Structure 1
């Protein structure tokens, strides 16, 4: 009753003003994915000399979205539905662990197809009269690091590519994605912005029952952002609590049996992004760091991660080449028996933004990388090379993007034993975005990974390849 009165009081003055602006959206993404994962070892107890799983497969998926947004002087209302369909999912691409994204979709459904119609957005945003604050309630997207939109296009691009979704994201790459049910408060002032939010994530990612939320996974986050013309500083804090029912895999280096999830983690950190003009273009710098404290299945949890990057874009040269280099370190646990958990926990990220190959997460990781971006005419291309290692030889090789279901064995991340090794491998990958029309584009990606000593502990083959082609239509 209080909420209804609040909305009526704040919205009533807008009824006598200009009529609200109504915008409809329609999009469709069709993607063909093909995997040739590392070749698994032959099962020593099997009756035939066959590998444990089949790493080679191709599947197709489609996601359509229909949405509407109503923008008024004092309120905004938005809603959207998605329909997803996947076909030809692999049935034997599991072991050891999931052999590519298709394996996780199949594990969630148990059949070769998956489909769902789900509500992806239903929000009411009440705005202050002077636009100095807003309150948003409902089912909404949320991206850490994206609380403000920069007026400088180059800075916004840098933030979107290198700061967004490191701890909380919409898991955009997956067909079922992720949304959040809760409340968000934003305060705008000249030169700074503050955000606070409390929510529970929806199921999604690889899980088709996307309409349901996960009430036992609870998140509270706040940030303060200092905004300037070509730079941005942010301080942030996030609290994460996971008490999902039923037994799930314990994803750490203790080799513990399945048990109910008992994780409480708080992350505190800062980020900085800056664009500096140069005679030939723009120099960019990025810093991001976070420290964690809490408990992990009853053990004290202490972990940290840091990333530093630098780049230069030649804005006047043909193709506007943009060359970048960076390094990320995310702590790993040193000893499984020391009653202390030291693996950096990524919470609910969009992992593929920082790992296009989708084969690793930013947990127990060292990642030294080079990037080259080009925009010849209307094309957008990028090439990346990553030298990957584990931060701790006593911990696991992790992959995943956080919780996707309220029940089941899948925790949201998975891990493979390192065998006391740290060299994970080298990734070479490239992506291209070809705009055909204003509303139509065709995108492609191809990547390969040469596995190191860590990969050899679980697989007989040390070469992975992955490619996809997707058709995108947006109105």
Structure 2
């Protein structure tokens, strides 16, 4: 198959570069406006992900699709970046290819991500594409403290400003970033944003503003085109830890989402048809993340909440969500173990016949950060979880999560999805199944092991199991769900000499 050859060649190119090119470990990229060294050369960065996934979805009733399948995928990025004292330029090309997507994994609804990749990938079992992932210019210090970025770039809500404290940044990466606006990172096609970003920094305060349109992607082949019928405007104020409030980062944010795509799917509990999307939602929220030395380790807390108002088709939209979490890391103990627990509430709708839409709308997040099995989206859900992490070796990390999952409202749907993927057609980006009159979605157990084999090459593994509740067994004939993958990630930086 042509795609199989191209996907394999992508991996071989990246592997050859490991041997042929001088490399250095990848460094974390500073946020816009942060102090940084000024390199004197162009930088070429190569990243490659190869993933094997296996799915065993809930068994449908007779006449349903096949819930068991496996497939391979590869994503290769080539990034060229030039940094001057006042200007940065970034160009990134990306190729994605699949082998063996299932062509019979839809019904009732998508039976895992393989179904979504196939249905939104022009119904090909081996789709592939090469396109411009990023292309942008960042103008630095236009005015004192002001940087402006224009073009196609990535954006992650919650990560607008670094705190300067390692534990806070670790919590943000795993439990905060992209809750409302993100790049759909774990999906192969991903998502970008076309538009403008401005960052103004003064002392401990950083103000970030964005005006963007998302690109197609996520599960959809033909990734890259701008979704012209979605407009997103937002602003964030971040306050760094100070002497008066040490070890604590605060954020306040507001986001406006306007959507008029030519999409016929309407993801709510009304059962009504739609000729196109008619959604305008304003989200206002805040965040507190703290990490405090206590005893032989660090106590951390996270509080995050959003209130929403707006229009959902012909209904008034009034919804909200909140997350509250706490954890403790034994920093001086062998394996550096940590434990955390928390609760997410995302509101659901209580009546399909009134004039109010009460389901929290996650906007354009990266849902898999908070739903590792991808079995639910962060809407109409109560998720109570416990997490344990440890490092048995310097380059080995292990993680175990357990989630008790219940719908917020039995009058609403069981939702999946991570936001808009297509400009037009029958896929909104979220979809829902019946609750079957129950709130009991199920209990999830998830485990992962991440191994850094070298400074530039790592292997990640994941296995998740869900024991479904009445919400599930009212639609499917059994209550057992399994999902697992093995992934290799390669990153290398090669400095090209300036001519």
TM-score class, shorter = over 0.9
- Note if contact 1:324-1:371 (Cα within 8 Å) is conserved in structure 2: yes
- Note if contact 1:21-1:72 (Cα within 8 Å) is conserved in structure 2: no
Q: Distance in 1 between matches of 2:57 and 2:307?
A: 33
Q: Partner of 2:68 in structure 1?
A: 56
Residue segments in structure 1 that go unaligned for 5+ positions in a row:
1-17, 43-50
Q: 1:19 to 1:177 in 2, by over 3 A?
A: closer
Q: Partner of 1:22 in structure 2?
A: 42
- 1:35 matched to 2:55? The reply is yes
Q: Of the candidates 320, 342, 350, which is equivalent to residue 334 of structure 1?
A: 350
Q: Distance in 1 between matches of 2:462 and 2:320?
A: 31
- 1:318 matched to 2:338? The reply is no
Query: After the TM superposition, which of the residue ranges 308-317 and 226-235 deviates more from structure 2?
Result: 226-235
- 1:250 matched to 2:266? The reply is yes
TM-superposed deviation, 1:71 = 1.1
Q: Distance in 2 between matches of 1:418 and 1:98?
A: 16
TM-score normalised to structure 1 length: 0.93
Q: Distance in 1 between matches of 2:274 and 2:449?
A: 42
- Note if contact 2:374-2:416 (Cα within 8 Å) is conserved in structure 1: yes
Q: Distance in 1 between matches of 2:171 and 2:205?
A: 19
- Note if contact 1:20-1:73 (Cα within 8 Å) is conserved in structure 2: no
Query: After the TM superposition, which of the residue ranges 154-163 and 422-431 deviates more from structure 2?
Result: 154-163
- Note if contact 1:250-1:259 (Cα within 8 Å) is conserved in structure 2: no
Supply the RMSD in Å over aligned alpha carbons: 1.1
Q: Partner of 1:71 in structure 2?
A: 83
Q: Distance in 1 between matches of 2:431 and 2:486?
A: 26
Q: Of the candidates 204, 212, 227, which is equivalent to residue 191 of structure 1?
A: 204
Q: Partner of 2:306 in structure 1?
A: 290
1:51-450 equivalent positions in 2, closer than 5 A: 51-108=63-120, 109-128=122-141, 132-228=145-241, 230-245=247-262, 247-377=263-393, 378-450=395-467
TM-superposed deviation, 1:458 = 1.1
Residue segments in structure 2 that go unaligned for 5+ positions in a row:
1-37, 493-499
- 1:457 matched to 2:474? The reply is yes
TM-score normalised to structure 2 length: 0.89
Q: Distance in 1 between matches of 2:490 and 2:180?
A: 29
Determine which structure has greater relative contact order: mean sequence separation of CA pairs < 8 Å that are 6+ residues apart, divided by chain length.
2
Q: Distance in 1 between matches of 2:450 and 2:129?
A: 28
TM-superposed deviation, 1:211 = 2.2
Q: Secondary structure at the match of 1:375?
A: strand
Q: Deviations over 1:223-269 (max 9, x none)?
A: 10111152100000000001002x42111001112431111100000
- Note if contact 2:192-2:224 (Cα within 8 Å) is conserved in structure 1: no
TM-superposed deviation, 1:162 = 1.0
Q: Secondary structure at the match of 1:157?
A: helix
Q: Distance in 2 between matches of 1:372 and 1:19?
A: 40
Q: Deviations over 1:422-460 (max 9, x none)?
A: 000000001111111111111100000000010012111
TM-superposed deviation, 1:345 = 0.2
Q: Deviations over 1:274-293 (max 9, x none)?
A: 00001211000000000000
TM-superposed deviation, 1:466 = 0.3
Runs of 4+ in 1 over 3 A off after TM superposition: 18-21
Q: Distance in 1 between matches of 2:441 and 2:275?
A: 29
Q: Distance in 2 between matches of 1:392 and 1:272?
A: 27
